[in-house]
Amino acid sequence: MRDFRAELEKRREQGLYRWRRQVETPQQPDMVVDGRPVLSFCSNDYLGLANDPDAIAAARDALPETGLGGGASHLICGHHSAHHRLEETLARFTGRESALFFSTGYMANMGVISALAGRGDTIFSDRLNHASLIDGCILSRATVKRYPHCDMTALEEQLATTDGHKLVVTDGVFSMDGDVAPLPEMAALCRKHDALLVVDDAHGFGCVGPEGRGSVAHFGLGSEDVPIVIGTLGKAFGTSGAFVAGSAMMVDYLVQKARTYIYTTAMPPAVALASCTSVRLVKQADDRREHLARLINRFRREAQALGYTLMPSDTPIQPILLGDAWSALALSKALEGRGIWVTAIRPPTVPEGESRLRVTFSASHTEAHLDKLLTALGEAQQELPGHAA
């Protein structure tokens, strides 16, 4: 029998053991975690909508109309008019003909990729794609070719030497690095080599592009350039669930083929109606995005002045690169001792030798919050010179 206990102990010895923290407040900068107050810089609630009173009111007011549970899968009796309304809202928001609402981002990526490619096909995947994209590629049973991160020369070489149905999948904004994929170049390569481009913009929607319409819109690309976009609602939108948007034909195809859509209970309809409100709030959130940009620019300037190594990112994801897992854990612990919560990110989430603190900003953060973070980083560096440099 496999020695599961030994595997757990090995993870502890390597500094890779993970544990859950108990949050006792809504998602917001000032939180209570494991009974202690902390200032959080590790949430994906980029626009501060997870605790927005309008979104909360929309969910509360919907409950008498929709009830609580989804009841069944969408193809049995679970497809509520609230879900349909959200799909129409998301289609307009993304500039696509149609959209399909999934229960989670992981399920969306798994379902879409495994539906669009199979045995005999080839998928081209960035080496730093999210785990859900990687697992979707594996589930599809297609041949998978991984290219170096954002290396368009390598991608073109792979595309040019491959026949048959080709699918290129990428994050729009990479979740652990915070950089943006070179989508114009990718779209051109896909047109040249007759490949279908799928962009997961989970971390782009809300933060990037005009009215927060994502990295595709940021580059001025349309549905002819990027036929399929995937997004999650649990990040900048502040609610829950995910979606894929594309042509009406493609969405109809996914309804028939995406197993993670077909064989799961529909999300609570009240969440769908709250998400409609969140989409409206995202479109109106230019002031929040401008505030985010100011925080990010100041953080980058002052953290680098302290001697920290940051990764090239203009998004709310601002990783501090440390290298080994123990250094990341040590800095995270030193910050938490000063009331600042930033999670250490270690392999296998990131490559070996690239452990980091993933600092994330929210429009709910203030300049005073940033003052506290920078002060704590300065003090922690003085205590841990071997780790933080």
Q: Give Rg (Cα) of the chain.
A: 21
- The CATH number of whichever domain residue 316 belongs to comes to 3.90.1150.10
Indicate the number of domains in the chain. 2
Residue 232 domain-assigned (yes or no): yes
218 known ligand binder: no
Contact 325, 344 (CB under 8 A): yes
pLDDT exceeds cutoff 90 at 1: no
Same domain, 204 and 298: no
At residue 261, the pLDDT reads 96
pLDDT exceeds cutoff 60 at 383: yes
283 is catalytic: no
At residue 389, the pLDDT reads 41
Residue 62, CA distances (Å) to 49, 59, 82, 233 in order: 18, 5, 9, 18
Last residue of a domain, one of 283, 307, 322: 283
342/296 Cα distance (integer angstroms): 16
Same domain, 227 and 321: no
313 known ligand binder: no
Is the link from the previous residue into 348 a cis peptide, with omega within 30 of 0? yes
- The CATH number of whichever domain residue 75 belongs to comes to 3.40.640.10
Region 351-373: mean pLDDT is 96
105 known ligand binder: yes
223 is in which domain, residue-wise? 53-283
Same domain, 308 and 197: no
203 is catalytic: yes
Catalytic annotation, pick one of 145, 235, 291, 365: 235
Residue 78 domain-assigned (yes or no): yes
98 is catalytic: no
pLDDT band at 185 (very low <50, low <70, confident <90, very high): very high
Region 125-133: mean pLDDT is 96
Residue 1 domain-assigned (yes or no): no
According to DSSP, residue 72 is labeled: S
The neighbour count for residue 31, using CB atoms within 10 Å, is: 19
Residue appearing with tokens 């490559």 = 351
Residue 106 domain-assigned (yes or no): yes
Last residue of a domain, one of 283, 310, 325: 283
Residue 2 domain-assigned (yes or no): no
At residue 388, the pLDDT reads 40
Buried-state track 162-181, b at ≥16 Cβ within 10 A, e below 16? beebbbbbbbbbbbbbbbbb
Segment 72-108, tens digit of pLDDT = 999 999 999 999 999 999 999 999 999 999 999 999 9
User: Which of 263-277, 308-322, 342-356, 372-386 is least confident?
Assistant: 372-386
Same domain, 181 and 224: yes
Residue 13 domain-assigned (yes or no): no
**Proportion of the chain in helix, strand, coil states, percent, rounded to 5:** 45, 20, 40
18 known ligand binder: yes
